[in-house]
């Protein structure tokens, strides 16, 4: 899967993808925000959507987010993807959401916004 068009990772089926769009994002996968700059995503290919598929546990996603940013999936420069299963959110605009640490299922991917 990886190493052809995108770099692969040590996590099973994990890949890195660059995003260059400038559009509003929300829905079941993303928290509400607008892409106004380039970003990177880390995930797997899911139904043809590069990098939006789950690749890590919510606890692992939170650990990366905490180490690099604010530890909150809806705010900052590191955002949790697959919002409805990776986090305890009440909606796409829920800035108080947390990662679902009760889950032991691989259900998260991450989006990294650049400065």
Distance CA 77, CA 28 (A): 19
Nearest to 83 by CA among 96, 71, 74: 74
Measured from the Cβ of residue 102, the count of other Cβ atoms closer than 10 Å reads 8
Model confidence pTM above 0.75: yes
**One pLDDT digit (tens) per residue for the chain, 115 residues:** 445 666 667 777 888 887 766 555 666 778 887 666 678 888 887 766 777 789 999 999 999 999 999 999 999 999 998 888 999 999 889 999 999 999 999 999 999 987 6
């Amino acid at each position: 899967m990886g190493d052809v068009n995108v770099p692969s990772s040590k996590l099973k089926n994990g890949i890195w993808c660059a995003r260059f769009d400038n559009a509003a994002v929300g829905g079941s996968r993303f928290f509400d925000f607008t892409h106004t700059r380039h970003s990177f995503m880390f995930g797997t290919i899911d139904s043809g959507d590069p990098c939006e598929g789950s690749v890590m546990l919510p606890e692992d996603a939170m650990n990366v987010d905490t180490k690099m940013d604010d530890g909150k999936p809806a705010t900052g420069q590191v955002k949790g993807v697959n919002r409805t299963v990776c986090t305890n959110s009440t909606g796409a605009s829920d800035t108080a959401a947390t990662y679902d640490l009760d889950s032991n299922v691989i259900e998260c991917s991450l989006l990294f916004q650049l400065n």
